[in-house]
Every structure is written in structure tokens, then in C-alpha cells.
Amino acid sequence: MKFTAQQIAEILNGEIVGNAEVEVNSLAKIEEGKKGDLCFLANEKYTPHIYTTKASIIIVNLSFTTEKEIASTLIKVEDAYSSFSELLELYNKIQSNEAGISKKADIDENSSIGDTVFVGAFTSIDEDVTIGKNVKIYHNCYIGKNVAIGDNTIIYPNVSIYHNCIIGNNNIIHSGVVIGSDGFGFAPNAKNNYDKIHQIGNVILDDDVEVGANTTIDRATMGSTKIGKGVKLDNLIQIAHNVEIGNNTVIAAQVGVAGSSKIGKNCMIGGQTAVSGHLTIADEVKIAGQSGIASSIKEVGKIVQGPMAFDIRDFQRSYIIFKKLPDLYRTVNAIKKQIND
């Protein structure tokens, strides 16, 4: 699908500098732009590329001023980065405009399917499932009994959602995600082995949640594992049973959160962090990557780092000393030698 500079400027409420009728049909990075491409410039270090790119249209900030002639048509906007993000969202909707139910899908007659829903081949939808309007469920997915899926949610291939789970509106769930699998619940017995503790709760995802590929979210033992509105989970994350994550918290890849921990709103958790069970993390906490959280963080806005995480400034000071330990060791040995001599 082609768009003119005029059409894009109207979408973004932007100002055109150049040919308003020039057309684009694809998106590209500014350094790789060619005829027919739409690019953007938000980071100053990429400015030299605006004078060499072959892109047809470039979105720039209102503050941008040219130093020499530019062949491309410019669209000036308040914030080039957010405007380009808006266009990416529009482009994605156009690219993902599938509708209809595959003849190879297996849908129980007692399930309710909303308007303009897409269901791909070899997807299985069990009984008493409720699916809202404009939902897209791609190939090879499994939707268990009594699951509810809200409007405008996208579920990519090979996703499994177990029974009784609730998925909100405008969610994006990427390939390989498992929602509602059993929590890791076992009790030692007199025979020195383990009895399974059956997990009878569910998982609730609020609206506007995105779950990255191959992430797993376990069902609660009782009650619900809860993922708040606007939460963004990266790939390869493990969320254990009865965990609660507050609104608009973002978690990077390979994080593990153990059972019954409560994470506040607007937190940021770096990759490969481990959070122990039954902890509370306050709102707006930032945790650096590869940290270990073994005790609750009760201070709002606290920033921590480290294998046994503590205040990030103290950690950084300590690390400077740690790096100097070989020199300190040599100095101490030299002093000992002088004393002995």
C-alpha cells in the first residue's frame, strides 16, 4: 500500500518541506533508505545520513535545520521518534489485517467468537471460551476451557492458554508463550519424595499487556496470578504462581520471579534478574540487570544493583574498590615485607 507525503503529514499533523505528492510503500532505517522508503531522524548522531540517504520521505523534529540541500521530502513534527512509532503501529495493523476462521481450526460449538475474528489453521479452542471482537489467533494455538480473551488482542502462533485464564483487551502475546501452566508446587512427604500440590487458580492479564516469546506465566495455587495494565514482558521470562505485577512495569529478558512476590507499578527490571519468593517490591523501583533480589524493597523509586542487590550507588563504589583489590594486595604484601626486613 502506498502513501503520499500529504497523507502522512495529515496523519501526524506535520509540516511538509518538499514534494507533497511523493509516495512511499515501505519503512527503513535512514542509513539504508532507498526510493519509496519512509525513514525518520531523531538521534543527532545519524544526521549525516540525511544528506546521503535515497529515502523518499524523512520524518524530522520541528527543530531540525538543514546545513545543505536534501533530496528527500521532509515532514516536520513535534517528536520524530513518537510520530514514527505511530506510523509503525498503523503499518503493523495494515500488515496484520487477516480475518476469518480457517477450516482447519477446531472450535467447540459452546464457545463464543466475536466479530471480525481471525483464527488460524490447527488452532484448537475448547468449550465455553469467550473471544472478543477483532481478535487474531494465529496457527497452532491452544485456548483452554472457559478462557476469556478481550477485544483487539493478538495471539501469535504456538501459544497455549490453559483453562480459566483471563486475557484483557489490546494484548499482544508472542509465539511460544504458555499462560496458566501449573505453578511449581510440591510438598516433601515421609517417603523422602514429593507430593504435587495441585494448582487450581488462574492467570489474569489486564489490558494493553505485551508478553514476549517463550515467556511462561504460571497459574495461582489458589486465586490468581495477576499481570497489571500496560505491563511489558520481554522474551524468556518466568513468572511463578500467585505473583502480582503492577501497572506499567517493564521486565527485560531472562528474568525469573518466584512465587507469591508482589511487584509494584512503574518498575523497571533489567535482564537476568532473579526475584525470590514472597517479596514485595515498591512502586517505581529500578533493578539493574543480573541482580539478585533476596529481600523486599520498600522504598518507592529505589535503584538497586548486585548479586545480592543493594543501593546502586553503594554497589558502584564497592565495585571500584573490588577492581583495586589486586593492587591493594600487592601493596599490603610490600608493606609486610618491609616490616619483616
Q: Is 113 helix (H, G, I), strand (E, B) or coil?
A: strand
* Cβ neighbours, 10 Å, residue 334: 10
Pairing of strands 57-61, 106-107: unpaired
The residues near 147 (Cβ < 8 Å, ≥ 6 apart) are 126, 129, 130, 161, 162, 163, 164, 165, 166, 167
Task: Verify whether residue 49 is a known catalytic residue.
Answer: no
* Buried residues in 140-174 as b, exposed as e (16+ CB within 10 A): bbbbbebbbbbbbbbbbbbbbbbbbbbbbbbbbbb
**Residue with grid cell 535545520, as numbered in its chain:** 65
The three grid cell numbers given for residue 332, joined into one nine-digit string: 599490603
**The residue type at 19:** N
CA distance linking residue 310 with residue 17, whole number of Å: 52
**Residue with grid cell 502513501, as numbered in its chain:** 3
The three grid cell numbers given for residue 143, joined into one nine-digit string: 485456548
The three grid cell numbers given for residue 74, joined into one nine-digit string: 521532509
CA distance linking residue 24 with residue 31, whole number of Å: 16
Burial class (CB in 10 A: 0-12, 13-18, 19+), 196: exposed
Over the Cα atoms of the chain, what is R_g? 26
Its sign, for the CA torsion 89, 95, 97, 98, is negative
Set 174, 198, 241, 278: catalytic member: 241
Q: Note whether 62 and 76 are within 8 A (CB).
A: yes
Catalytic residues: 241
